[in-house]
Structure 1
Amino acid sequence: MIMQRIMLSCLVLAVMTITGCSKDNHDSPQSTLAGRVVYNGHPLSLRSNGVQLELWQDGFDLRTKIPIYVTQEGAFSATLFDGNYKLVQLNGNGPWVSSTDTIDITVSGHTEVDVPVTPYFIITSSTITQNGTNINASVRLTQVNNSLPLDAVSLYLGSTTIVDQVNSVAGASVAAADITDITQPVSLTAAIPTSLTAKGYLYARVGVKTAGVAELLYTVPVKVELK
């Protein structure tokens, strides 16, 4: 009787060991989903990891979203298992009109997809230059969707290419109330702080903010070699 119990215990232990090894030896995801957030086919410049998309996989009882963060270049990527997924926007998260559209994606190996959006405002042209101890910027705006008004246009200065409303050393803003004609260039001037003067260079970027929307749409960061 004792021997039977010992043999039964050994059998249970062996099964548990095999099961545990099987779980530990599951393959890790090898496929890649890559894409861009675009308007008219062009990627949008955003705050680094400030905008998030949601990815859901079908066929699971416990559906859990996979957060996908967008880079400041408007790109995103995720390492996944092959399968069918649904990509959706996080409501009110980006500087564009919220959409409930779902993009169905079949991931197999390397898969690419663009997420089209409709911004409230875009910056169609920009110049950023040094003038003595100041950085001057001039931008032209276009209102793409008029459901929300303009809030402000801001210039941000930083020590790295990651520069935005959260990551900046100095800057300047012009409120919408002070912009009488949106079809005309908007000018901004920010004093160069001592910390950036000592480095000999800085990065500058302009962002446009829509009223009631937290995230901004930006120009590409520009490196300015200080004279």
Structure 2
Amino acid sequence: MRHGDRTALVTGGARGIGLEIARQLADRGLRVLVGARGAAAAEEACRALGPAALPLALDVTSAASVREAVGSARELTGGIDVLVNNAGVSLDGPLRPPYFDEDVLRETLDTNLAGAWRVAEAVVPGMVEAGYGRVVNLTSSYGSLSLMDSGRHPAYRVSKTALNALTRMLAAELAGTGVLVNAADPGWTRSGMGGPSAPRGPAEGADTPVWLATLPEGDGTTGGLFADRRPLPW
């Protein structure tokens, strides 16, 4: 692709895996909208990424912010072809089921599930109208029902399981429209969430999301969960 042929929006794109995803997409010739709650953080990231990146103030927990940001993005670029729902939180303390912190659960779901859903609601209709789109939801093997073997990080796990369900529903609803929807597990990656002791670097963590975000036209891969470009069980 030539620079400017496609536009990608990366939520939570100012640091960590999101920043690396934005970098790799820009390297592949896409114009990249770097979404971040703080405009200054988005602008700083774009200075590091170069002219292919544009800052976008975006708080995925606010429907008004999402509407305003996506409207601004359309004015800037004409449309959004690729959405990477990367913004997420992990707020769990030591509690494990049957105990839980209701406030932590609510805040986690508002970002990790509803946040991704809000942005998809704002962006996907334009993709359907254009007959092309790629939606990638950043998830975790912690959300896989098949692989779930403990109650650690309960709110985070539940939010990612729900995000996986949203991925499947969106893929089914959008079948045949040219819009592909998949989920990517970046693995335990060094970032603000993953911490400095994680074994994977951001470039490795970003590889599968970027692969899914740039699936070529004619590729029918949709409704899947992938890690290291290989399918994982739901």
Superposition TM-score, scaled by structure 2 size:
0.24
Structure with greater proportional helix content: 2
TM-score, normalising length from structure 1? 0.25
Larger Rg: 1
